[in-house]
């Protein structure tokens, strides 16, 4: 039976289901959820963003099953879909994102409670971090008028990279760390935001760096609509109005609508600013800078975290 099963199941599927996880909340049903998410990701994201024709019916079914917990046999008050708890991103400066795709060695950063302020899915465990796959962005692919190029979602490490490559051969390709860095640079120059994404069903871990735009990205749209799916980079933008010529490019480029022009000068909403650094790139007169905001969760600085891990061991 086991030999038959091994022949029937793709190697990447077997690797996903047999990957060891020590964090709480892992279960067979969580793995099934992760399999569905990664195997039929375009359908999944289409439903989650409401763009798929079946979205309304399936969201009602989800609320019913999540609220009444049919599998456990316990009847409770129907609940809400809480995407932010189990599927969320951490904004990163492009330089830090480039370090993450070129980390060069396997790492286990454990529970990043301060840096990733969510109750679940906040570990960075990279196995074979040189295994990187560029995937056609599911958010862009399900949009009516998507931003281009498509292949800007970077899936990093195993078992995720191998799974995506094996199950989505027409929509993914294996790339080097150098090419991944070039994609990040190009997307940042286009004004798109780099996020490290985590998901409970993806073994409670980090699994991808996405390059997000407010016109396509479901997470940014949800965040702007009051569902806190994204965490700040830990920085906040500041404006030096003495050098400002009032061109308004910073306001136009902000994916979070955190910058408004008032009397030809930028005014930054500190609550809405995610500290992504896009506005700095767009300002031709270097009127903007980023400062660490102690009121927000600390930055995801991969080199510093690895150094701290080395000292502990």
Domain limits for position 156: 2-230+298-312
- What's the confidence (pLDDT) of residue 246? 86
Same domain membership, residue 172 and residue 306: yes
pLDDT category at 228 given cuts 50, 70, 90 is: confident
CATH code of the domain in which 271 resides:
3.30.70.20
Angle (CA) 143 148 153, round 5° = 80
Same domain membership, residue 265 and residue 154: no
Exposure class string for 11-47: b at 16+ Cβ within 10 A, else e = ebbebbeebeeebeebeeebbebbbebbbebbbbbbb
Considering the entire predicted model, what is its pTM? 0.88
Q: Who has greater pLDDT, 261 or 151?
A: 151
Six token digits for residue 65: 């099953």
Contacts for 278 with CB less than 8 Å, ≥ 6 apart:
188, 191, 192, 193, 253, 254, 255
pLDDT category at 71 given cuts 50, 70, 90 is: very low
Same domain membership, residue 276 and residue 147: no
- What's the confidence (pLDDT) of residue 78? 37
Same domain membership, residue 239 and residue 212: no
Contacts for 4 with CB less than 8 Å, ≥ 6 apart:
none
- Tokens 């004004």 correspond to 191
Taking the C-alpha atoms of residue 206 and residue 125, their distance in angstroms, rounded to an integer, is 7
Residue 69, pLDDT > 60, answer no
Same domain membership, residue 166 and residue 21: yes
- What's the confidence (pLDDT) of residue 61? 58
Same domain membership, residue 162 and residue 50: yes
In the chain, the percentage of residues whose pLDDT exceeds 70 is 87
The total domain count for the chain is 2
Same domain membership, residue 130 and residue 239: no
Same domain membership, residue 269 and residue 303: no
Same domain membership, residue 302 and residue 197: yes
Residue 73, pLDDT > 50, answer no
Taking the C-alpha atoms of residue 22 and residue 25, their distance in angstroms, rounded to an integer, is 9
Taking the C-alpha atoms of residue 88 and residue 120, their distance in angstroms, rounded to an integer, is 10
- What's the confidence (pLDDT) of residue 309? 76
pLDDT category at 62 given cuts 50, 70, 90 is: low
Q: Is 206 left (phi over 0), alpha (psi -120 to 50) or beta?
A: beta
279, 259 in Cβ contact below 8 A? yes
- What's the confidence (pLDDT) of residue 39? 95
Exposure class string for 282-295: b at 16+ Cβ within 10 A, else e = bbeeebbebeebee
- What's the confidence (pLDDT) of residue 116? 93
Average pLDDT, the chain: 86
Mean pLDDT confidence for 147-175? 97
- Tokens 């798929």 correspond to 52
Same domain membership, residue 287 and residue 302: no
Q: Is 260 exposed, middle or buried (0-12, 13-18, 19+ CB in 10 A)?
A: middle
- Tokens 């933008």 correspond to 237
**Where would I find the H helices in 69-217?**
83-86, 94-101, 138-141, 160-167, 177-189
Report which DSSP code applies to 297: P
Q: What would the pLDDT profile of 108-120 be if each residue is shown by its tens digit?
A: 998 899 999 998 8
Same domain membership, residue 273 and residue 205: no
Taking the C-alpha atoms of residue 65 and residue 80, their distance in angstroms, rounded to an integer, is 11
Residue 4, pLDDT > 60, answer no
Same domain membership, residue 258 and residue 218: no
In the chain, the percentage of residues whose pLDDT exceeds 90 is 63
194, 209 in Cβ contact below 8 A? yes
């Amino acid at each position: 039976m086991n030999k038959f099963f091994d022949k029937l199941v793709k190697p990447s599927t077997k690797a996903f289901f047999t990957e060891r996880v020590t964090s709480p909340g892992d279960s067979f049903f969580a793995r099934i959820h992760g399999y569905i998410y990664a195997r039929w990701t375009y359908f999944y994201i289409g439903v989650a963003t409401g763009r798929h024709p079946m979205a309304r019916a399936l969201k009602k079914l989800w609320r019913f099953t999540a609220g009444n917990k049919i599998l456990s046999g316990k009847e409770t008050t129907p609940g809400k879909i809480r995407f932010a708890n189990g599927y969320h991103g951490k904004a990163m400066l492009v330089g830090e994102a480039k370090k993450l795709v070129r980390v060069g060695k396997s790492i286990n950063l454990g529970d990043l409670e301060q840096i990733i302020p969510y109750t679940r899915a906040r570990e960075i465990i990279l196995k074979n971090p040189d295994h990187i796959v560029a995937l056609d962005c599911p958010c862009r692919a399900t949009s009516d008028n998507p931003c281009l190029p498509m292949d800007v979602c970077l899936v990093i490490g195993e078992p995720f990279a191998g799974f995506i490559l094996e199950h989505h051969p027409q929509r993914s390709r294996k790339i080097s760390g150098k090419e991944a860095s070039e994609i990040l640079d190009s997307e940042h120059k286009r004004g798109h935001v780099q996020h490290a994404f985590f998901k409970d069903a993806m073994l409670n871990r980090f699994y991808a760096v996405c390059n997000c735009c407010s016109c396509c990205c479901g997470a940014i749209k949800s965040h702007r609509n009051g569902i806190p799916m994204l965490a700040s980079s830990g920085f906040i933008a500041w404006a030096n109005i003495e050098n400002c010529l009032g061109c308004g490019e910073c306001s136009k480029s902000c994916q979070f609508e955190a910058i408004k022009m008032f009397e030809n000068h930028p005014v930054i909403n500190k609550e809405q600013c995610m500290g992504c650094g896009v506005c700095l790139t767009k300002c031709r007169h270097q009127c903007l800078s980023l400062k660490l905001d102690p009121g927000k969760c600390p930055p995801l600085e991969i080199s510093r975290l690895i150094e701290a891990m080395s000292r502990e061991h």
